[in-house]
Amino acid sequence: MRSANFDLPARLPQGGKIGIFSPAGSPDPIRVSRGVAKLEALGYRCVLAPHTLDAHEYFSAPDDTRLADFNAMLADPTIDMMMMSRGGYGLSRIVHRINWQDVAKQKKILCGFSDFTAINLAALSLGNIITLAGPGVATDFANEDNTDDSEFMQSHFWPVVHGDDVLVHIASEHPYSPQTITGPIWGSNLSLICDLGGSRFIPDIAGGILFIEEIGEKPYVLERMLFQLYHAGILASQRAIILGVCNGYEHDPDRFPYTIEHVIKTLRSLLAVPVLVDLPFGHVQRKLTLPYGADLTLEIKNGGYSLSY
């Protein structure tokens, strides 16, 4: 992991302590327990924030309580990494109440995806510190072991949190000539980027590599959100756009015949920069861990591309 512009978090030591919290939705306690058991079997110590397993309306706990859990774990010097239990919805309600200078000062690893994108964005914009777009305890580590997807997730997670270099090759057809592109990697959940658009939580990144994922939104809605970023000048200021997994919607060919392929075609017609697909990231088990804001090298090759960071 490297960066010319943003601060790096501390590395997770072997046997380090992982703080688990629920900044948004309420997780399944069984899945949290299963994820914790897996992490502890690998030699790491785990501690749950007091209200990790609570349930309040749609959330794990009221806003004040979720914020207090976050702040207490951030201030605890024995905790090396903070990982979400799950996403959902809720961080937009408290992101403005987090002291991002404290986040920068502590330099803990913060890891999650989906609604966690609010933390990724704000930490980079207001704390100048790199976080991780990666797995959650209940969403990913609770899944069955010894599958190709689980092994893929872990093989790309542990090197990042330990500060080692990562190189991943992705097979994907595209119309671009071979080339090498460098820039900070950022983006993640498209809804959250648009939700916080125009606010102080969106980092001003020109020359970046923007990756996106989404769940439960039809392709025409995805395109509409991407047009918001296009009209705001964000897409054109990037050196490349990479689409991850956009799943979880029902295709309605009669009423909404628009497909993901239409969205990709539209983006490629709008932008002079490469628009790539098939990034293994999103609401799926086969998931990369991406150092959010770190310098990344994207090498476009015939029949695919590689990422090194």
Q: Are 114 and 193 in contact (CB under 8 A)?
A: no
Phi, psi dihedrals of residue 230, rounded to the nearest 5°: -65, -50
The 3 state secondary structure assigned to 160-190 is: HHCCCCCEEEEECCCCCCCEEEEEEEEEEEH
| Catalytic residue flag (residue 191) | no
Convert 213-231 to b/e letters by CB count within 10 Å (16 or more is b).
bbbebbbebbbebbebbbe
Beta bridge partners of 301: 304
Structure tokens at 308: 């090194």
Alpha-carbon distance of 231 to 238, in angstroms, equals: 13
Catalytic residue among 51, 188, 213, 214: 213
Structure tokens at 119: 């933390």
| Catalytic residue flag (residue 283) | yes
Alpha-carbon distance of 298 to 35, in angstroms, equals: 32
Catalytic residue among 3, 114, 150, 191: 114
Q: What DSSP state is assigned to residue 11?
A: P
31: Cβ contacts below 8 Å, ≥ 6 apart: 137, 138, 139, 142
Catalytic residue among 51, 156, 174, 283: 283
| Catalytic residue flag (residue 125) | no
- Active site positions, annotated: 114, 213, 283
